[in-house]
Structure 1
Amino acid sequence: MLFSAFKNQLPTPDEALKGRPEPAFTVPGRHTVLGNPLEGPYPEGLHVADFGLGCFWGAERKFWETEGVWTTLVGYQGGHTPHPTYEEVCSGLTGHTEAVRVVYDPARVSYGDLLKVFWESHDPTQGFRQGNDVGTQYRSAIYTHTPEQQREAESSRDAYQPVLQRSGYGPITTEILPAEGRPFHAAEGYHQQYLDKNPGGYCGIGGTGLSCPVGVAKVDG
């Protein structure tokens, strides 16, 4: 089946679903926990970071609980299909991964802090899966917005790799690419802050238990 084939390999642009010129749905206005707008434009002085680390329900919660984060929203990134739906992303035929957009105050939390949360909240060595979640949409990814973010993300990966290797893990498979040319498409409203609306819901996020030697992030609670 075509669906099965693209659970374990990325489609080419020609193979990807064609998508649509506008989103097929609207996104809620405000974050249910933080109370701030989900989509931009954001206040001056805030920075944006994009991460994929498996199921975005649990991943988003990791970041909204981090001190200095102003808002978060979940979506789809790194693929070819314009304005995809969840069902399309799950087919493997869009090329996207489930991602979290993190809008943060750099005076309160650094990009290095966020990278520490990212690396320690999942296993970045699993390729097209995260735990029991299998498919290209669960791959580990960092999409950077500045050359400084790119350098810091790559440096943090290089610092974390020997830590993982000493404990028997394989190579990091995280893709680290510029966000430019890889637009972030917000997910449907029911996915936004899903674990706040459904506290007993599925999370799917679990780290290796190994500390990444970057950042000093603090998580509330």
Structure 2
Amino acid sequence: MFLVEMFQRKTTMPTAAEALAGRAEPIETAALHFVTNQPLKPPFADGLEIAYFAMGRFSVAEKLFWALPGVHVTATGYAGGLTPNPTYQEVLSSLTGHTQTVMVVFDPGELSYEALLKLFFERHDPTKVMRQGNDIGTIFRSAIFTTSDAQLAQAKQVRDDYQAALEQAGHTGRIVTEIGPAAAFYHAEASHQQHAARNTGSQPGSKGTGVRLPDHL
């Protein structure tokens, strides 16, 4: 019974009464991006946009974005939950409600939001409920947190386009990606920022469905 309860806790979102209390002050994180040396926190230059994507382990997902032309900076953190300023271990307990999330700051004049959405949907499996690969839990759920009405509309449209592509390819899964306006984003600890560059050992890559979106994106 204990193991069953622990598994359910990992795959069930906590209620406000169950969520950990957290803290008023942000946890300590890195100041600069380990690869690009850009500041990890705002203010950012005028004209840049911010996007947030959750697609499994943020240590794996972040490296998909930071080298893209038009990306100014990336950072890992926690979003979509209840606990203020959580730590990694608190998030890992599944009692904060957060998912591991990558912040992408980009120049829309060089890189479209649709292109980021295309990468997001193709490079993980958005039909998996509360998991990616062998990683199981609410912290690994698929999510897009938007920062404008335009982003919200585009995310929903590309989701629908990808669902149609999945069906055309004979994939039976339904997309479960959570899509909604971004609330608080809490930067992860320094050791989790640009983890793939700090630790050059091999890491399992994100495994998608193998289905591509239409080329016009």
Hey, what does 2:200 align to over in structure 1? 199
> Structure 1, residues 137-174: CA drift from partner, whole Å, max 9, x if none?
00000000100000000000000002112332311000
Hey, what does 1:64 align to over in structure 2? 66
Hey, what does 1:173 align to over in structure 2? 176
Hey, what does 1:99 align to over in structure 2? 101
Q: How many residues align?
A: 213
State the Cα distance separating 1:215 from its structure 2 match.
6.0
After TM superposition, where is structure 1 displaced by more than 6 Å over at least 4 residues in a row?
Answer: none
* Structure 1 Cα separation of the partners of residues 104 and 113 of structure 2: 10
* Structure 2 Cα separation of the partners of residues 161 and 17 of structure 1: 35
Which sections of structure 1, spanning at least 5 residues, go unmatched? 217-221
* Structure 2 Cα separation of the partners of residues 214 and 5 of structure 1: 40
* Structure 1 Cα separation of the partners of residues 104 and 57 of structure 2: 15
Matched, 1:188 2:189: yes
State the Cα distance separating 1:78 from its structure 2 match.
0.2
Alignment map for 1:1-221 (pairs within 5 Å): 1=2, 3-24=6-27, 26-165=28-167, 166-179=169-182, 182-213=183-214, 216=217
State the Cα distance separating 1:3 from its structure 2 match.
4.0
AA paired with 2:209? T
* Structure 2 Cα separation of the partners of residues 186 and 3 of structure 1: 26
* Structure 2 Cα separation of the partners of residues 204 and 169 of structure 1: 23
TM-score between the two structures when normalised by the length of structure 2: 0.94
The 8 Å contact of residues 7 and 136 in structure 1, kept in 2 or not, is answered as: yes
Distance 1:215 1:150, change over 3 A: farther
SS at match of 2:156: helix
State the Cα distance separating 1:199 from its structure 2 match.
1.6
Which sections of structure 2, spanning at least 5 residues, go unmatched? none
Q: Please identify, of 140-149 and 3-12, the stretch whose mean Cα deviation from structure 2 is larger.
A: 3-12
TM-score between the two structures when normalised by the length of structure 1: 0.92
State the Cα distance separating 1:204 from its structure 2 match.
4.7
